[in-house]
Structure 1
Amino acid sequence: MSSSIDLSVPTALMLIDNQSAFTDPSHWGASRSNPLYEVNLQSLLSAFRAARASSSTLLEVVHIFHSSDSPASPLHPSHPDGGIRPLDFATPASDDSEPIFWKNVNSSFIGTNLESHLRQKGIRQIIVAGLTTDHCVSTTVRMAANLGVVDRSLDDGPLLFRPDGSRENEIRVERGRIILVSDATATFSKAGFDAETIHKVSVASLDGEFADVFGTEEVVKALRKVENPDIA
């Protein structure tokens, strides 16, 4: 993991499934990891919005929400508790400056225009937070890395393979960056495993292979330096 966060490149804060359905213990269970998730995500979003207002570089907040196909899910549009609505601390900006994408599967890139949006904007770095660590957050991070949505190809044409698996050509790529904010995401216990174990294993599985992992404090500090470059 790189020891610093560079916000001089076009960056998107991707907030996944911060919806009120996840406060329903009757569906998900009462045992959830990371009790500071709400506080940390709110701090992250506030700092990013403040940095965006001060930056000459593109900094964009992107909200991804889930609309389930299952009528039994608290994330189904017809659910009487209105579980698909955003959590109060993660509500999109009222001026429509923060794009919203709706999905119905774990990946934020399936059935949405998110990939094309990030490419059109020239986003070179994404910072990911939200719910849940082992499902939609993990799937989205993995797919972002596999799609190379923050990478930039330096050569034309796809990578071509011969029948034996050897390559016909090489593709030069300038790598972008995916950052996972580990303490601004959370999950629930399942299959006899406690929530903290599932959360930690999920983060560890992503770290290095698919994303660089940072804590909220580190990301917020980098964002505050955008506002005030003199901060040590």
Structure 2
Amino acid sequence: MSIDFSFPTALVLIDNQAAFSHPTHWGTQRSNPQYEANLQALLEAFRKAIKTTPATSSARLEVIHVFHSSLSETSPLHPAHPEQGIRPLDFAVPAPDGSEAVFWKHVNSSFIGTGLEAHLRERGIRQVVFAGLTTDHCVSTTVRMAANLGVVDRFTEPVQVRPDGTHNSREVVVDQGRVVLVADATATWAKDGIDAETIHAVSVASLRGEFADVLGTEEIVKALNY
């Protein structure tokens, strides 16, 4: 499976924050030791491609950051912990020139209580690439909602389900966009006696095909460099 950057694409980076460096809060066993290197490679490749892509090109690219601000004061992601908690990890800091949109959320989905959905629609994004933390929580929830909301699809009219369960699908024309999960640029932790790699793998498998196309960092970076 390959990736095509000939139409507007956004890289959405989720919850890459210092709180996830806490030595014990999330557990001691994390999946995917290459998460940091892969996410940094993705971000650098997108930024490089953005600089070399004409603003008028149909292959417009952009980077979007979504961060978590917990409502629980005991969470490392609560605003009371700005240095060790909610601040971006060093390799995922938004561009200092303000060219990369930033959204803040307080639940798992990056689409609830934020302007992310409106931003993607207003910008005409047809392909969204997701990476970040954690695979089974905020990344999974966001990917599922992206697919369900159809944020990269174009409908001639809304789908309507009638009281008898039938719908108007025959009258609706859908020009489908693409939701992509970069599986090796996400990570999660062990929980409830299940090891981290198993949770990561099952979470990815649950999204593959039904909600997103699953690709790897190397393939995406290679496509951007051409």
Q: Residues of 1 paired with 2:83 and 2:2: CA distance?
A: 42
Counterpart of 1:38?
36
In structure 1, list runs of 5 or more residues that go unmatched.
226-232
TM-score (norm 2): 0.95
Q: 1:177 to 1:166 in 2, by over 3 A?
A: same
* 1:16 is aligned to 2:17: no
Counterpart of 1:205?
206
Q: Is the 8 A contact 1:20 1:83 kept in 2?
A: yes
Counterpart of 1:58?
60
Counterpart of 2:26?
28
Q: Residues of 2 paired with 1:162 and 1:30: CA distance?
A: 50
Alpha-carbon distance, 1:160 to partner: 2.2
- Number of residue-to-residue matches in the alignment: 221
User: 2:47 is aligned with what amino acid?
Assistant: R
Alpha-carbon distance, 1:118 to partner: 0.4
Alpha-carbon distance, 1:172 to partner: 1.0
Equivalent residue runs for 1:48-197 within 5 Å: 48-56=46-54, 57-79=59-81, 81-153=83-155, 155-156=156-157, 158-168=158-168, 170=170, 171-197=172-198
Alpha-carbon distance, 1:70 to partner: 0.2
Q: Residues of 2 paired with 1:92 and 1:75: CA distance?
A: 18
Q: Report Cα offsets for 1:127-154 as digits up to 9, x if no partner.
A: 100000000000000000000000011x
Alpha-carbon distance, 1:162 to partner: 2.6
Q: Residues of 2 paired with 1:80 and 1:122: CA distance?
A: 34
Q: Residues of 2 paired with 1:97 and 1:79: CA distance?
A: 26
Q: Is the 8 A contact 1:71 1:79 kept in 2?
A: no
User: 1:33 is aligned with what amino acid?
Assistant: S
Q: Residues of 2 paired with 1:135 and 1:35: CA distance?
A: 18
User: 1:197 is aligned with what amino acid?
Assistant: T
TM-score (norm 1): 0.93
Q: Residues of 2 paired with 1:9 and 1:161: CA distance?
A: 31
User: 1:132 is aligned with what amino acid?
Assistant: T
User: 2:48 is aligned with what amino acid?
Assistant: A
Alpha-carbon distance, 1:106 to partner: 0.2
User: 1:188 is aligned with what amino acid?
Assistant: W
Alpha-carbon distance, 1:159 to partner: 1.9
User: 1:37 is aligned with what amino acid?
Assistant: Y
Alpha-carbon distance, 1:80 to partner: 6.6
SS in structure 2 of the partner of residue 14 of structure 1:
strand
Counterpart of 2:221?
220
Alpha-carbon distance, 1:168 to partner: 4.1
Q: Is the 8 A contact 1:64 1:100 kept in 2?
A: yes
Q: Report Cα offsets for 1:81-126 as digits up to 9, x if no partner.
A: 5310000000000000000000000000000010000000000000
Among all aligned residue pairs of Structure 1 and Structure 2, give the percentage whose two residues are the same amino acid.
68
In structure 2, list runs of 5 or more residues that go unmatched.
none
Q: 1:206 to 1:169 in 2, by over 3 A?
A: closer
CA RMSD of aligned residues (A): 1.1
Once the two structures are overlaid, the 10-residue window that deviates more, 67-76 or 159-168, is 159-168
Q: Residues of 1 paired with 2:102 and 2:14: CA distance?
A: 10
